[in-house]
């Protein structure tokens, strides 16, 4: 059923990407042409790999990253750019499933992760078009009641007041569409160009002498008693620890785990630049938007006023060739 190709190879023949065209290629100068020993080998150059590398290197570990293609090749360099605080489900739902204390821990984690991203953007002066506010746009008449309950609950139990409810009239003013019955603006969430953000963090790795090997797919990991062998092209990296940050591109690298997760692909496209005036006629205050359906539509404007629009899902290890028709 699954493709014979490695999942990351499915992006090889893509015709172009807005995010890629918005950055200067990173082009790491590190080349792995001999065997290497490090404390930690990180597999995958997305947000998981790069931020693990940064945090480990700051603690004094020697670190090497192996990325099959280019930094940001996977989801981190091709996502919706929404930097959101919340979970997919609201807090009362999570409380029912996991209990209040656990739900509160998860809520705090959401707040902290946005805080951490904002801190990195400011500390490293990352120019990634940071914009405030994400609107949850209600596709159903009953959504306003749910938004109201959510706001009250978050105020009462989480001391969170950074929300604003939008009535039908108000959401029409924010988003020029007939689709929505109501909305909820979350001012604690933001949107960014995710690839610029990732490369901004990657740049910092140089200060800590992290080796970054692009075009270096890992073909095998072998665990020995007191070290791990990582096979990369013709070379071998020996390390005490390995961080595997391959996301849904993992394939068989960790053996049977592959049969325990289900690939869910989501698709995103960018329009031509529409100009600031047109963009603000569509989304008045340049917030990002996601709707309340099970398979969501989500969109926002880029730094050059393209609409970045995501939606649709497929459930297979094979990506669609023409996502444009599917998403739009
Ligand atoms: C279309 C889309 C929209 C999304 N929108 C949002 C959003 O708006 N907000 C949000 O918070 N999240 C969003 N997400 C989710 C988010 O992008 C991911 O959760 C996040 O980027 C995962 O980061 P990662 O580093 O774990 O994985 P990835 O960024 O996917 O990185 C994995 C890396 O591993 C590499 N790799 C794989 N196999 C090997 C190997 N054998 N050897 C070496 N390297 C290998 C790949 O090339 C890839 O670069 C979206 C995801 C998608 C697909």
Closest CA to 246 of 46, 94, 59, 54: 46
- Could you tell me the distance, in angstroms and rounded to a whole number, from the CA of residue 137 to the centre of ligand 1? 25
Q: Which two tokens stand for residue 266?
A: 């989501």
Q: Which two tokens stand for residue 318?
A: 């094979």
pLDDT at 240: 98
Above 60 in pLDDT, residue 1?
Answer: no
Dist. CA 209–CA 16, nearest whole Å: 31
What does the pLDDT look like over 160-184, one tens digit per residue? 999 999 999 999 999 999 999 999 9
pLDDT at 261: 83
Dist. CA 279–CA 273, nearest whole Å: 9
Mean pLDDT over 1-27 rounds to 84
Which of 9, 28, 46, 266 most suits a substitution to test ligand 1, by most atoms within 8 Å of the C-beta?
Answer: 46
Structural domains of the chain, with CATH:
36-77+196-260 (3.50.50.60), 128-192+263-327 (3.30.9.10)
Helix 143-158 to helix 100-123 angle (10° resolution) is 90
What does the pLDDT look like over 136-160, one tens digit per residue? 999 999 999 999 999 999 999 999 9
pLDDT at 226: 94
Dist. CA 299–CA 89, nearest whole Å: 19
pLDDT at 313: 82
- Could you tell me the distance, in angstroms and rounded to a whole number, from the CA of residue 268 to the centre of ligand 1? 13
The protein residue whose alpha carbon is closest to atom 20 in ligand 1 is: 76
Mean pLDDT over 102-120 rounds to 97
Whole-number average pLDDT of the chain: 94
Percent of the chain at pLDDT > 90 equals 85
pLDDT at 160: 95
Local confidence band at 2 (pLDDT 50, 70, 90 cut-offs): very low
What three-state secondary structure class fits 238?
Answer: strand
Q: What is the ipTM of this complex?
A: 0.99
Quickly list DSSP for 243-273. EE--GGG-TTTTGGGGGGS---EEEEEEEEE
Dist. CA 198–CA 196, nearest whole Å: 5
Other beta carbons within 10 angstroms of residue 30's beta carbon come to: 15
What does the pLDDT look like over 264-317, one tens digit per residue? 888 999 999 999 999 999 999 999 999 999 999 999 999 999 999 999 888 877
What does the pLDDT look like over 216-270, one tens digit per residue? 999 999 999 999 999 999 999 999 999 999 999 999 999 988 888 888 888 999 9
Q: Is any ligand 1 atom within 6 A of the Cβ of residue 75?
A: yes
Q: Is any ligand 1 atom within 6 A of the Cβ of residue 239?
A: no
pLDDT at 87: 83
């Amino acid at each position: 059923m699954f493709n014979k190709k490695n999942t990351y190879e499915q992006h090889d023949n893509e015709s172009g990407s807005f995010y890629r065209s918005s950055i200067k290629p990173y082009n790491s100068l590190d080349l792995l042409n001999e065997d290497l020993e490090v404390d930690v080998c990180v597999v995958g150059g997305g947000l998981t790999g790069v931020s693990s590398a940064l945090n480990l290197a700051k603690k004094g570990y020697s670190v090497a990253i192996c990325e099959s293609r280019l930094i940001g090749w996977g989801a981190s360099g091709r996502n919706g750019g929404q930097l959101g605080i919340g979970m997919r489900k609201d807090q009362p739902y999570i409380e029912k499933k996991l209990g209040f204390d656990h739900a509160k821990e998860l809520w705090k984690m959401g707040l902290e992760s946005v805080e951490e991203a904002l801190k990195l953007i400011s500390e490293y002066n990352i120019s990634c078009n940071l914009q405030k506010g994400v609107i949850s746009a209600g596709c159903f008449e009953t959504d306003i009641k749910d938004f109201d309950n959510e706001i009250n609950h978050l105020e009462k139990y989480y001391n969170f007041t950074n929300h604003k409810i939008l009535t039908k009239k108000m959401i029409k003013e924010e988003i020029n569409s007939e689709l929505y019955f109501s909305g909820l603006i979350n001012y604690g969430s933001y949107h960014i160009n995710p690839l610029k953000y990732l490369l901004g963090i990657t740049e910092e790795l140089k200060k800590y002498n992290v080796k970054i090997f692009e075009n270096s797919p890992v073909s095998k990991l072998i665990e020995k008693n007191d070290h791990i062998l990582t096979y990369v092209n013709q070379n071998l990296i020996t390390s005490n620890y390995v961080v595997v940050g391959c996301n849904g591109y993992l394939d068989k690298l960790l053996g049977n785990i592959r049969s325990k997760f289900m690939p869910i692909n989501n698709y995103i496209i960018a329009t031509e630049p529409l100009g600031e005036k047109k963009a603000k006629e569509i989304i008045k205050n340049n917030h990002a938007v996601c709707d309340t359906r099970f398979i969501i539509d989500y969109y926002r404007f880029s730094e050059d006023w393209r609409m970045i629009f995501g939606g649709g899902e497929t459930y297979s290890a094979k990506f669609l060739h023409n996502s444009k028709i599917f998403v739009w």
